Amino acid sequence: LHQFNYCPCQYLEQNWIVPKQPWLLNLDGWRDNPNFNLWCLEEWALAPVPETAFNKPHHSLALLPPDALSTLMLTIGGALHSFAMRQVVLKKPKQCLNNVFGLDVARFLIQQGPMLLSQWPKGWQKALPDMMKEDEVERHMLKQGYAWMKFILASSSHDILLRWQFKLDQSLSQVKENTSWLVEEQRDLAYRLTKKIAKQVIPQWFHLLK
């Protein structure tokens, strides 16, 4: 929790820094420099998050390291398309999905994704993009996963939400995905589904999720 609160540079995606202090990225050890970490806290007006904030289990999503968070978000995006993925039979689109998710995760999504919930709420399953280009499919899945996590963290404080966003590409924070298909009463179900996926794709970090 100390790193999460006081050392944001250690997990900050570099493109958050570029518009403000691009020169900083050329310095060795900038991520560990106390002065830069203090600047970061002051620049974004971040206060420490008390341990009690994580009594709300879904807040623990923000504690995941950047790589694990991106993997989880991408896979959540895939899970929301798992019914459609199961219908893909042509070689090129199949290869595209395998390349975006990796063979093991793509297989998990196709074989087990539809069964992650016994009854999927309306709107939770999506059609695949019309153009199955790897970079576009990956971006689409990440945006869906980002919107999903932001919905789960909707009641979180500024100090939790921004630290979570710091771990992701800054451009995702500009995403305005329509999430009208997600309703307040489904937040706990959404978090339970997220944990099921996390246990499969980031087992080494699953202990962080309450």
Mean per-residue pLDDT for 36-59?
A: 95
- Give 66-80 pLDDT, tens digit per residue: 999 999 999 999 999
Specify whether 12 is located in the same domain as 102.
Answer: no
> Over 80: is that where the pLDDT of 54 sits?
yes
The pLDDT of residue 122 is above 80: yes
Across 110-121, average pLDDT: 97
pLDDT band per the 50, 70, 90 thresholds, residue 175:
confident
- pTM for the whole structure: 0.94
Whether 161 and 64 share a structural domain: yes
Q: What is the mean pLDDT of the chain?
A: 95
Q: Give the domain range for residue 119.
A: 57-208
At residue 177, does pLDDT exceed 80? Answer: no
The Cβ-side half-sphere exposure at 113, using a 13 Å CA radius, reads 24
Q: Among all chains, which residue has been given the structure tokens 């007006």?
A: 45
Residues 32-39, mean pLDDT to the nearest whole number: 94
pLDDT score, position 24: 85
Domain boundary among 30, 48, 66: 48
- DSSP state, 29? T
Q: Are 21 and 98 within one domain?
A: no
Q: Which spans in the chain are helix H?
A: 2-6, 34-43, 66-79, 82-86, 91-101, 103-111, 134-152, 158-166, 187-201
Whether residue 20 is found in the same domain as residue 89: no
| 79 shares its domain with 38 | no
Mean pLDDT of the 155-171 span: 95
**Rounded-to-integer distance, Cα 85 and Cα 38, Å:** 45
Q: Same domain for 7 and 61?
A: no
Q: How many domains does the chain have?
A: 2
Same-domain pairing of 21 and 91: no
